[in-house]
Amino acid sequence: MKHLPPQQAWQFLQSRPDAVFIDVRMEIESLYVGRPPGVVNLPWYEYPDMTPDAVQFIDAVSREVQGDKARPVLLICRSGQRTLAAGQALEAAGFTEVADVNHGFEGELNDEFKRSSLSGWRFEGLPWEQM
């Protein structure tokens, strides 16, 4: 799996219109915290179980790529952790071009335990929307 800094991930999406951009956060996070425009929300896990269901996730991604496991898939989450497990599951299932956004949408925690102040999609000033 490739790990792309946010700016490089944005450039990748611009240069690869066939890529599928997937937000693996819970739906409520994606809607209320914000998300990149055009991203497809396919949670790696969801409330209240908070337990990943790799088979369900892989099936959902397979539908998005219309069965083409060679189609580029770019993953984003809050901080870059969930995408690691989700990406590994996709690769194990035969997906060949999987990448994630380093530090995710909100980035790393700063010394005051706040996000979006050191790194991440939003910190880099990339396009995003909020419900």
Residue-wise DSSP of 44-70: SS-TTT----HHHHHHHHHHHTTT-TT
- Reported pTM: 0.96
Average confidence (pLDDT) over 47-73: 96
Report whether the peptide linkage leading into residue 6 is cis, meaning its omega lies within 30 degrees of zero.
no
Going from the C-alpha of 29 to that of each of 2, 24, 62, 92, the distances in angstroms are: 24, 10, 23, 27
CA distance 1 to 131: 30
Q: Which residues pair with 20 in a beta bridge?
A: 73
Chain segment 94-108, per-residue pLDDT in tens: 999 999 999 999 999
CATH code for the structural domain at 2-101: 3.40.250.10
Per-domain boundaries in the chain: 2-101
Chain segment 115-128, per-residue pLDDT in tens: 988 999 999 999 99
3-state DSSP call for residue 103?
A: coil
